[in-house]
Amino acid sequence: MTSTDESLVAAAQHSTGLATLYRALDDLVDLYALDDAAVVVDVPGFGRQVLHAGRRPLRTDERGLHAAEPGLYLEPPLEDPVLSRLMLALGTLALRHDAGTTSAT
């Protein structure tokens, strides 16, 4: 297991869902030397949400992510349906988990 994997697992164990999701996006960018990564999810209570690597602003959103369908968006693109589904699931779970944690406290 690499240190990157360890930090992702540690985030899942000790951090929030959002922090874990952003950790995973950053790991993807590092692992595949990507220019950018974002995941778009549709979560009850939140609606359509774009989560951008590094929590960076979308600025002028040249890629139109604010109106994109749920999925994993990598730049340059990387065709891996399993990875896409996993990141989509992680993003959805992250928001649902944090919403539940916040409302429970």
Partner 1 sequence: MSVVSLDQLELQLRRLEGVVAVGFVTTDDLVLIEVQAGPAAYDDLARDATVLAAEHVRGPVAVELVRWGDGGPHAPEARLRLVDVTTDPAAGDLTVRLARGDEEAVGRASTSGGLPAAVEATIVAVRAFLPDLAYLPGWARTVETTPDRRFLVVASVTDPLTRAHRRGAAEGATPVEGAVRATLAALNRTISRDL
Q: Does residue 90 touch partner 1 according to CB under 8 A?
A: no
How deeply is 18 buried, as exposed, middle or buried, from its count of CB atoms within 10 A (0-12, 13-18, 19+)? middle
Calpha distance 55→76 (Å, rounded): 19
Q: Does the footprint of partner 1 cover residue 44 (CB under 8 A)?
A: no
Q: Is beta strand 47-52 parallel, antiparallel or unpaired with respect to 71-75?
A: unpaired
For partner 1, the binding residue among 63, 66, 80, 89 (CB under 8 A) is 66
Considering only 5, 46, 78, 86, the residue that binds partner 1 (CB under 8 A) is 46
Residues lying near partner 1 in the complex (CB under 8 A) are found at 16, 18-19, 45-52, 55-59, 61, 65-67, 95, 98-99, 102
